[in-house]
Structure 1
Amino acid sequence: MKRKLIYLFFLTGSFIFLSAQVGINTTNPQGVFNIDGAKDNPTTGVPSAAQQANDVAVTVGGNMGIGTTVPTNKLHVNGTDPLRLQGVGTGNSTTDPLLVIDANGVVKNIGTLGALSIPSPAVFRLETAQNNFLQAQGAGGAQVVPMSMIKNSIPGLTYNAGTSTITFPAGTYQITFVYEAQHNATGCTISSYFVDFPLNATTSRIHSTGAHSEGALSNHGGTITYATTLPANRNWTISLGRGQSGNCSGAGMNLSATSTQILVFRIGD
C-alpha cells in the first residue's frame, strides 16, 4: 500500500524531504494529490469516468481536476451543471467583457457588447396629439416634439422629458423618426418635413418629401432614418421641421399621438 512518506534525514545539519504521491480514500492516487470521495477507485490502473466523477486531483503540472483525474486546464471541472456562482455582482454592459464557452467547454472572453455591435434600443413616443403643429414655422423652421421615453436599454442614455432632450453616451447609432399627421389645407399636394439628426458636435438635416391628395384630412405620415456617430454626453432635442420644398405652407399639421415615435438603436462603439 502506498502511503504518504516523509523522510527526514539529518546530514551534517541539513534537512532533506522526500515525499510520494498523496491519496485520500485511495491507495492508487492519480497525480501528486487525489481525493476519492466515494472510495471507489481501483487499486491499480486508471479509474473509469464514473469513478472519477467523485474525485479531486492535482497533476504534476499544477492542473486541478474536479470530476476528472486528468485535468487539461488549470481548473478543469467535469459534471452536470458543474459551476454555480452565488452572490455575483452586477456588471457594466458597456465596459465589462462577455464570457462564452467554446466547443471544448473552455471559458473565453469575446469583448464588450459595444465591441460586438449588438444593438441596444431606446423608444420614445408622442402621447398627446399636437394640433396645428408647425403652424408658427415657415420653411426651414422646426418645433420640439414632447415625447415620453417608453423603453431604454442603452447604458448611459438619459432623457429630459421637460425639454424633450436625449443625452447620448459615445457610440454609433441608428435613429428613426416615425411621424403620422393630418394636414387639411387647400392646395397642399406635396409636403416636406425634416429632422436635424445629431452628428458629432453638429447636426445633419434629412428630409422626407411625400405627395398627397388635396382635400380634407390629407395623411402626412413618413419615416426618416439616419445613422450617426456621437461623442459622450451629446445632447439632442427631438424636433420636426417644415421643409424647404412642397406647397404645404400656412396651416399647421395635426401630429398624431402614439404613432409618432423615435426609435434609437446603439449599434456599437
Structure 2
Amino acid sequence: MKLRNICSLALFLSFSSISFAQVGINTPNPQGAYTIDAAKDNPPTGAPSAAQAANDITVTSTGNMGIGLTVPTNKLHISGTNPVRLQGLTAAASGDNILATDGTGVLKSLGSLESLAIPAPAVLVLRTAQTNFLQSAGGGGTQRLPLEVGRNNIPGLLYDEATSTVTFPNGVYQITFVYEATHNATSCTLSSYFMDFPGIHARRIHSTAAHNQGGSSNHGGSITFSALFDGTSSNTWVINMGRGVSGNCTGAGMTLTDYATQVLIFKLGN
C-alpha cells in the first residue's frame, strides 16, 4: 500500500513538472509558457497558422504576451483589425503627452502639446458694430474693445468680457489684431490706429490706412505681434484700440464692423 502511494506521488510530481513547463487551454500544443486557444482550432503539433493564432493568447517564457499571435515581440503585442479600444477615458490635462505609433505599430510618446509647439487658438470677436468709436479720443487716446469669446482652446487662458481683459498662462503667443471700419468725416482720408500689445517686451504698434472721403471710407488692417510671458511681468492685457497721430481724421469717430474686427491668439509653446 505504501509502495503504491509512493509511486502515485512520483507520477503526480512528474506530470506536475511537465504541466508547469507549458500550459495550454483548449490545446495540447501550447506555443509558449501559457497559451489559450479560444476557438480550439490549433493543430496538435507545430505552429498554428495566422488565422488559427488570431484567436489565441500566448505568454512566452520571457514574459511577453501576444493577443492574436503566438510570437509576441513586446511585453504586450496585439495583432488584429482596430485591436485596441479604451472606453471611459477622461479629457487630457495640460502637460499630458501625445501618443503616436512608429511604422511597426509600437506606441511612442511625442511629448506634450506645449513641448511640440502646436498652436492652440483663442478667438475674440466684436459681435456688435461700434459707431463713433474713438470719437472722443485724440491722438494717442484709447477706447476699450468690447470683444466676446468666439473660441478658447488655450488651457489656462482666461478672458473677462466685462473688462476686455485677457489673462495669459506663461508661454509664447502670437497675437493678431484685425479690424475693418468706415470713417466718414470731412477731409478724412488717412486713418491711423494702434494696439498696445502685452508681454515682457510690450510694444505699441500702429496701423495706417488710406481711404476715400465720405461714404466710401472703408478701411482696415491687421497687426501681428509675438508676446512672451514668463512671470516677470504682468500676464494680463486689457484690449484697447487707440487713435494714432499720423492720420488726418478728427471729430466723428469710425464705425467698427462687427465680426470683421477680431483678436486671434495662438499659444506657440512654453
C-alpha distance in 2 between matches for 1:6 and 1:150 = 75
Q: For residue 88 of structure 2, what is the amino acid of its counterpart?
A: G
- Structure holding more helix per residue: 2
Q: CA deviation at 1:215?
A: 3.2
Matched residue of 1:99: which SS? strand
Pairing 1:204–2:210 present: no
Pairing 1:97–2:111 present: no
Match in the other structure for 1:34: 35
Match in the other structure for 2:13: 7
C-alpha distance in 2 between matches for 1:132 and 1:40 = 82
Q: CA deviation at 1:112?
A: 1.3
Identity of aligned residues (%): 58
Match in the other structure for 1:82: 83
Instruction: Summarize deviations over 1:225-252 as a string: whole Å, max 9, x none.
Output: 2122224681111111111312223332
Q: For residue 38 of structure 1, what is the amino acid of its counterpart?
A: A
Pairing 1:137–2:143 present: no
C-alpha distance in 1 between matches for 2:51 and 2:40 = 12
Match in the other structure for 1:187: 187
Q: For residue 109 of structure 1, what is the amino acid of its counterpart?
A: S
Q: 5+ unaligned residues in a row in structure 2: which ranges?
A: 1-10
C-alpha distance in 2 between matches for 1:83 and 1:101 = 13
Q: CA deviation at 1:216?
A: 4.0
Q: For residue 165 of structure 2, what is the amino acid of its counterpart?
A: T
Match in the other structure for 2:221: 222
Alignment of 1:155-174 (within 5 A): 155-174=155-174
Task: Give aligned pairs, total.
Answer: 256
Q: Quickly say closer, same or farther: Cα 1:193–1:6, change in 2 above 3 A.
A: farther
C-alpha distance in 2 between matches for 1:217 and 1:132 = 16
C-alpha distance in 1 between matches for 2:24 and 2:215 = 91
C-alpha distance in 2 between matches for 1:66 and 1:52 = 9
Matched residue of 2:172: which SS? strand
Q: For residue 192 of structure 2, what is the amino acid of its counterpart?
A: S
Matched residue of 2:45: which SS? coil
Residues 187 and 249, structure 2, Cα contact 8 Å, conserved in 1 = yes
C-alpha distance in 1 between matches for 2:219 and 2:21 = 86
Q: CA deviation at 1:30?
A: 0.8
Q: 5+ unaligned residues in a row in structure 1: which ranges?
A: 9-16
Q: RMSD of aligned C-alpha atoms?
A: 2.1
Alignment of 1:243-258 (within 5 A): 243-258=244-259
Q: CA deviation at 1:20?
A: 2.2
Matched residue of 1:114: which SS? helix
Instruction: Summarize deviations over 1:61-88 as a string: whole Å, max 9, x none.
Output: 1101111110000011111221121222
C-alpha distance in 1 between matches for 2:82 and 2:49 = 20
Q: CA deviation at 1:6?
A: 6.7
C-alpha distance in 2 between matches for 1:88 and 1:29 = 35
Pairing 1:43–2:44 present: yes
TM-score (norm 2): 0.87
Instruction: Summarize deviations over 1:136-184 as a string: whole Å, max 9, x none.
Output: 2121121111111111111111211110111122222221111122212
Greater shift, 235-244 or 180-189, is seen at 180-189
Q: Quickly say closer, same or farther: Cα 1:6–1:261, change in 2 above 3 A.
A: farther
C-alpha distance in 1 between matches for 2:222 and 2:52 = 65
C-alpha distance in 1 between matches for 2:68 and 2:174 = 48
TM-score (norm 1): 0.88
Instruction: Summarize deviations over 1:41-79 as a string: whole Å, max 9, x none.
Output: 112211111111111111111101111110000011111
- Following TM superposition, the consecutive aligned residue runs of length 4 or more in structure 1 with deviations greater than 3 angstroms are none
